[in-house]
Chain A
Amino acid sequence: MRAGILRSPSPLPGFGLSFGIMMAALSVVVLLPIMALVGRGVMIGPAELWEMVGTRRIRAALALSFRAALVASLFNLVFGLVLAWVLVRYRFWGRRLIDAAIDLPFALPTAVAGIALTALYAPNGALGQMLTPLGIKVAYTEFGIWLALIFIGLPFVVRTVQPVIEEIDREVEEASATLGASRAYTLRRVILPMLAPALLTGFALALARSVGEYGSVIFIAGNLPFKTEIAPLLIVIRLEEYNYDAATAIGLAMLLISFAMLLVINIIQIWSRRRIGDV
């Protein structure tokens, strides 16, 4: 095993053991289940799968999941950039508290976030009460889904961009200003291109997470078929009806989206490494 896989010899022991443990765990926990899902899809046949994914309800659910994830991730792209900039560059009261709180969506269970957001934005909730007279309905509409996805996707862009901003050499900004550029011009033409790869990575990670999000969304969504029914929920519904084929079809469609996102993230990282060296 050692000679076959290893590229260059290492004096350290334990390659066979650690590699073996890793492969066994990865296979049992992650790879075999995914292969079982793909295998089930192969048994159903591509034509039937395609037909099921094409049904109106499934199409609507997939489109909603992707659309809402896109909207929320775009919001988080802009807000995350501003937030990262503020946290690195500005000094103000409460900065450390906000910095620590950014990771709340990673730490707070999604179901807890879901019922909390619903309690806040329901027509009789603390914030819902203020919005209802203005004619704005958040809970049980697509806005509610956006809100939940903004919540869970918030940390991604901040945490990928923050370290890059910390490393920016201020002399570059000084040079730009010395050459007569306005601050806005410097930000747009000097800073933004430097942050582009990290921004894209954060955006793609947030998007991948939001497309498949379930727990925080289902409470606030209202779950009306064709309107506010997300794809993961439809999988759960089909499973509860023991309609394994339809569940598999939706699951495979979502898996395909995941693989595509993973590919995009890897391409961005290779591209950024070529452009600005290892960050």
Chain B
Amino acid sequence: MSDVSFTPRAASVTTETALTRRIVIGVVMILIAVLLFAPLIAVFAEALRSGWAASLEGLASPDAQAAIRLTLIVAAIAVPLNAAFGIAAAWAITKFDFRGKALLITLIDLPFSVSPVVAGLALVMLFGTNSWLGAWLIAHDLKVVFAFPGIVLATMFVTFPFVARELIPVMMEQGRAEEEAALTLGASGWRTFFTVTLPNIRWALLYGVLLCNARAMGEFGAVAVISGKIRGETTTMPIMIEMLYNEYLSVAAFSLAAVLALLALLTLLLKSLLEWRYAGLLAATRRH
């Protein structure tokens, strides 16, 4: 007996009829076009409404330049720090067995379910002028709230889980046999980490950093609360977009928004490439 006698028709019991499929695909495409693609196109259409020159002029203004610079610097500090914390957290959680691990993972995930505005508010309560820590900071001429450190802290709060979330499932799956082998062969702890662990997790790490960076550069709610919105000083790109928009400077606002939208598209592209090329080395279940 050969398999030739089986006809492909057998597959039809495990799928819907061709008509149903076509209708469902059609509805999905329309909804995706309206919900996802239309807003994206709108950003670029509004930015270029008065031509390229006007758009570029908006980006060249000192306020926009300062906002771009501030956003880049904040991300350059917050993202590597959170990457380091994420690696440390993943190492402790996946290579050791200790009490309270489940609670700890929940606490690391906490920023995902806390409103960014509440995150900003909490930071104001800790570092603001009417807390004892805030009073001490003022006395020592250190400003956190309405200043650069506050923006970095707010950004770190909302992006805290990204790297750890990506690394924990990957490192859990890899176990610790390879590290143990390296140590048995006489490698030091750091050498084991850099020559065994890091190469194993590099793509997952890059994936986490990518998402962390996208969120860091685009964070609005938490930064809006803590930055004080001092023009040219504590205005990151999203905050500047809000200010320009509220001043009816639509082209300038959308030009800045278009830069962030391009960054989002680049992030999606790199993310898709990583998923396609290194699917097996990323978190087993895809992130939510």
The answer to whether A and B belong to the same complex is yes
Which residues does A use to contact B, with CB under 8 Å? 5-8, 10-15, 17-19, 21-22, 25-26, 29-34, 36-37, 39-40, 79, 82-83, 86, 89-90, 92, 94, 98, 100-113, 115-117, 119-120, 125-127, 150-151, 154-156, 159-160, 162-163, 170, 173-174, 177-178, 183, 201-202, 205, 208-209, 211-215, 219, 232-233, 235-236, 239, 244, 247-248, 251, 254-255, 258, 261-262, 265-266, 279
Enumerate chain B residues within 8 angstroms of A89, measured Cβ to Cβ.
15
Contact B107 A112 (CB under 8 A): no
A-B contact pairs, 8 of them (CB 8 A): A30-B110, A33-B157, A83-B28, A108-B260, A177-B13, A178-B13, A212-B116, A214-B115
Enumerate chain A residues within 8 angstroms of B268, measured Cβ to Cβ.
100-101, 103-104, 107
Known contacts A236-B117, A239-B225: A82-B98 contact under CB 8 Å: no
Known contacts A36-B131, A82-B28, A83-B28: A159-B288 contact under CB 8 Å: yes
Contact B39 A116 (CB under 8 A): yes
Report the interface size for chain B: residues with CB under 8 A from the other chain: 106
Contact B119 A5 (CB under 8 A): no
Contact A251 B122 (CB under 8 A): yes
Enumerate chain A residues within 8 angstroms of B267, measured Cβ to Cβ.
107
State how many angstroms separate the Cβ of A77 from the closest Cβ of chain B.
Answer: 14
Q: B254 interface residue, CB < 8 Å from A?
A: yes
Contact B85 A22 (CB under 8 A): yes
Q: B253 interface residue, CB < 8 Å from A?
A: yes
Contact B118 A258 (CB under 8 A): yes
Q: What is the CA–CA distance of A258 and B130 in the complex, to the nearest angstrom?
A: 26
Enumerate chain B residues within 8 angstroms of A247, measured Cβ to Cβ.
121
Contact of B220 among A120, A160, A209, A214 (CB under 8 A): A214
Q: B202 interface residue, CB < 8 Å from A?
A: no
Q: B43 interface residue, CB < 8 Å from A?
A: yes
Contact of A151 among B35, B118, B193 (CB under 8 A): B35
The A interface, classified by DSSP as helix, strand, loop or mixed, is: helix
Enumerate chain A residues within 8 angstroms of B95, measured Cβ to Cβ.
10, 12, 14-15
Extra pairs beyond A10-B176, A83-B32, A205-B113 (11, CB < 8 Å): A6-B97, A25-B85, A36-B126, A82-B24, A90-B24, A98-B29, A107-B211, A108-B39, A116-B42, A126-B42, A232-B118
Q: What is the CA–CA distance of A6 and B133 in the complex, to the nearest angstrom?
A: 33
Enumerate chain B residues within 8 angstroms of A100, measured Cβ to Cβ.
268-269, 271-272
Q: Which residue of B lies closest to A206 (CB)?
A: B288
Q: What is the CA–CA distance of A211 and B288 in the complex, to the nearest angstrom?
A: 17
Residue among A110, A170, A214 with max Cβ neighbours from chain B (10 Å): A214
Q: Which residue of A lies closest to B179 (CB)?
A: A12
